Amino acid sequence: MKIRNLLISSLYVCLVCICISNVRGQPHSTQLQGGYLFIHMRHEDYGRMYYYISRDARTWTKLNNNQRVNAEYRGHPDIIKGHDNRYYMIGVSEKAQKPLLWTSSDLVAWSIEKELPVSPFVLTDNYYTERNWFGAPKLYYDEDSKQYIVTWHAAKKGVKGNDEWKSMRTYYVLTEDFSSFSSPKRLFDFPSKADSEMATIDVIIRKIGKNYYAVIKDERWPEDGIPTGKSIRLAKSSYLTGPYSLVNPKHPVTTPYTYFEAPILMPKPDNKGWMIFSERYPHEYVRFDAEHIEAEKWEVCDCNIPDSRHGAMVRLSEEEYNHVLSSFSQK
C-alpha cells in the first residue's frame, strides 16, 4: 500500500510539473526544441548573406541588425550538412568568378575550404555554364552513396531574353571530396510529352524515406501554353540521379504564373507534415504546408518572410539555435 501511495504521489508531482511548464510557456517536448535558420539575400544587396531565425517557422527574427553575416560571401546560398557534420555551401569569387567551397562547424564562423575547379561544370552539348552555373548551385549529401550531388541550371548557347530562360536545363555532378568529380549530366528526362522538355531552375534534392525528391521551378512562360508554367513542382525517384517522375503532374505546389522560385523543403516543427518555402520574387518568401510530401494540395500559410530573396534553410538543434541567436543578437 505504501509503495502504491508513493507511486500515485510521484505521478501527481510529475503532472503538476508538466502543467506548470505549460503555463510558463516552456517546452515539455523535444518537438519544440531548436528551430530554423533561414539564410537569404536581400533585393537591395543581391548575392550576399543574411540570417533570419525562428522557433516555429512562422515567426521570424532578423539577426545581426539585418546586416551581412558574412562580409566576403557572394553567391546564392544553399547550405547542407556534410559527411563530417560540418555545413557546406558554394559561392563564387567576385573578381575571378571561380567557384568556392565554404564550410562552417557552427553556422556562425564561415571559411573558404577551397577553390573548386571549373572544368567539371563545363558542358559540351550546346549548353553553357560560364556564368549560369553560378546562378544557383545546390548541394545535397547522400548518406547512402557517400557522395555529394551538385545541381545547377544552364542555358542553350546563342539564345537571349525569355528564350534563354525557356532553354534552362538542370545538370549535376557527383563528388566524394570536392577534388574529383563525375562528368556533368542532365538530371531530368521526364517521359510525358508535355514535360519532356521542361525548362527547370533552382532544383534541390532531398531524401525522404526510400525516395529522393526533387523540388523544381518550372521555368516555362505563358506563351508556351503550359498550364504549370512558373510554378513549383515535385518529382521523385528511387535513385539519387533518377530517373525522376513528376508527383501530381497536374497539381503543382504553387499556383502557375504567380512567380515563385528558389524553393526550400523542410519538415514541420512537430515532424507531422512538410513545408515548402518559395520566393515570391522579388521581395518575400511564402510558406506552403502539406500533411504528406506527395499531397495533391499544399495550403498557403499566413507566415510570409519579408525582405528576403533566394535562400536556404537549416533545421537547428537547441544548442545550435542558442549559439546562433547569441552570436548574432541585436545590439
The whole-number average pLDDT for the span 272-276 is 97
The answer to whether residue 5 sits within a structural domain is no
Q: 12-16, 92-96, 106-110, 212-216: lowest mean pLDDT where?
A: 12-16
Does residue 13 carry a pLDDT above 60?
no
The answer to whether residue 21 sits within a structural domain is no
Does residue 21 carry a pLDDT above 80?
no
- Nine-digit cell at 114? 577551397
Does residue 129 carry a pLDDT above 60?
yes
Q: What is the pLDDT of residue 127?
A: 85
The whole-number average pLDDT for the span 69-97 is 92
Does residue 140 carry a pLDDT above 50?
yes
The whole-number average pLDDT for the span 299-328 is 95
The answer to whether residue 3 sits within a structural domain is no
CA-based nearest residue to 52, from 66, 70, 31, 42: 66
The domain total for the chain is: 1
**pTM as predicted:** 0.88
The whole-number average pLDDT for the span 51-59 is 97
Neighbours of 80 (CB within 10 A): 17
Q: Are 177 and 193 in contact (CB under 8 A)?
A: no
State the residue for C-alpha cell 523535444: 30
Does residue 9 carry a pLDDT above 80?
no
The whole-number average pLDDT for the span 118-144 is 80
Q: What is the pLDDT of residue 223?
A: 87
pLDDT-derived band of residue 79, with 50, 70 and 90 as boundaries?
A: very high
DSSP letter (8 states) at residue 224: G
The answer to whether residue 14 sits within a structural domain is no
CA gap 244, 144 in Å, rounded: 18
Does residue 123 carry a pLDDT above 60?
yes
- Report the CATH number at residue 228: 2.115.10.20
The answer to whether residue 20 sits within a structural domain is no
Sheet holding 309-316, edge to edge: 61-62, 45-54, 35-42, 309-316
Q: Which helix (H) or strand (E) holds 9?
A: helix 2-23
Structural domain of residue 44, as residue ranges? 37-327
pLDDT-derived band of residue 330, with 50, 70 and 90 as boundaries?
A: low
Report the chain's mean pLDDT, rounded to a whole number. Answer: 88
pLDDT-derived band of residue 130, with 50, 70 and 90 as boundaries?
A: low
CA gap 311, 263 in Å, rounded: 8
Does residue 124 carry a pLDDT above 90?
no
Of all residues in the chain, the percent with pLDDT exceeding 90 is 70
* Tens of pLDDT, residues 156-188: 988 888 898 999 999 999 999 999 999 999 999
The answer to whether residue 24 sits within a structural domain is no
The answer to whether residue 15 sits within a structural domain is no
Torsion angle of the four alpha carbons 12, 18, 23, 28, in this order, in degrees rounded to the nearest 10:
180
